[in-house]
Structure 1
Amino acid sequence: MISTNNSSALTSLYAIGDLQGCASQLESLMEKVLREDADARWFFIGDLVNRGPRSLDTLRLIRRLGERASCVLGNHDLHLLAVANGIRKTSRSDTLDDILQAPDRDELLDWLRRQALAQWIDGHLLVHAGVPAQWTQAQTLALASEVETALRGQDWVDFLREMYGNAPARWDDALTGTERLRCIVNGLTRMRLCTADGSMVLKNPEESAQLLVPWFDVPGRLSADVTVVYGHWSARGLTLRPNLIGLDSGCLWGGQLSAVRLSDRKLVQVSCPQFQVPDE
């Protein structure tokens, strides 16, 4: 894990958007950065695997980086853990077989389940999908830690069995047990659109009769005082605002793979072939 104690080491920290198994594009992006910034370190904003052509190589590459890299988990990473344990079935767009059949499968999956769901680095809050409006920066890290503890514990497979579902849709500090952990996971790895009161709309948002807004535009969002770095929303593309860095620029869909240096927002991108057709 990347240390946050040495600010000089963070001047070359690059956050990288959703990879989804696009290892060749990651290699090209890293080479491009390293030609000008040999001290570069890497933070991956989740969805390391799935739907792209080289999910196994992607996991192996990131793991080999050791202390020069860190990541948060995305919904596709959790899906891999669930599929590997017989909890979820693969879909026709999944490209996880190379991992599931690999000789180092168990080591990779064990490494993956021990990654974070949120991190605070150099004044940036890094998550895969978003931060529910009711959470402060400190609460986000504390709640993410609850899920991390479940994933790293002896009963982690039991946790995965209860993880899926769209309810509860709105955070309440009084939530306990499975509902509490599920709401945390949905906020950090699945959320895009919300109602004006901050309730997550995770299924068929086009059918909602209510006015929906992006999670980051919910009125009164308590994390608006820090910069949130996120992915998960390729339809919106690269997003750069004073307090937002959105890095899913559609690598999988024929867009670009993007990296932003956190110290000064220097942007580095590589173009990508189209590996999947949207809505397939």
Structure 2
Amino acid sequence: MRENVVWCMALAAVLAACNGKKAASEVDYAADSVFESSFGPSDSFNASSASLDEELPKRADELFDDFIFEFARLKKVRLERVEFPLLSVVRGDTVWLTEEQWKYESLFMDQDYYTVFYNDEEQMDLEKRTDLDKVDVEQIHLEKRWVKTCRFQRLKGEWRLTQESIRDFTAAEPLDKFMDFYRRFVSDAAFQQRSVSNPLRYVTTDPDDDFNTIEGTLDHDQWDAFKPQLPDGVITNIRYGQTYDNPDGMILVKAGISNGLMDILDFRKKDGEWKLVSYEN
């Protein structure tokens, strides 16, 4: 489990419906207000500890999680670590944004958690790797069924934002199919109750020993009392390289930003239906 404090961020470009490859000045920004309406005002994150002359720590480029925290916290770092003109692709249409046209939006800085989706437990170690050269930070809009992706690449030893894109959910993407289930799971109480295994495997920290866990089960009538706040609306996903080749399993990790808490929800498909089979906190 990660012990580092990690911050997720949202990077948004105001893009609209466009035909073919266009200059950013030709885009009708008012035609598609997905960024303003869903992500809030741009450049709204202000950390009291951040200053314009504060530098990126030398070790921040080793681990992506360390870099993304500084990128989100320091405006100076953001401007230094974006590849301009920035490639932005909205549903297949392309524009290039200059430094003056690009806008940063602090999507999840007001929240106390972020989320990551894995296909299995082995993938959960990917975040600790220091040899990654590409990481995608996604914002998944459950209700409108589209995904905003910010691609970061390590170029000459430095993490840089190299591309932004928006795509709609697709039938070919296993994670998208799961998201359709998850959207109903968090919004429909009766459906959620039917989708929790009975009994449910439950793992929690031993109150007498923080280094050990205890395992038991929860009955249906206990789920509401023990369940965490379930992420909904617009949720994050950090793709450190994990794939979703197994269409019958998904692990949701909800990690606290400042408190070190973590919830792990393991979903498995049984007889063609998704079930929450394990909950760990």
Q: Same fold (TM over 0.5)?
A: no
Structure 2 length-normalised TM: 0.25
Larger radius of gyration between Structure 1 and Structure 2: 2
Could you say which structure has the higher strand fraction? Answer: 2
TM-score by length of 1: 0.26
Higher helix share: 1
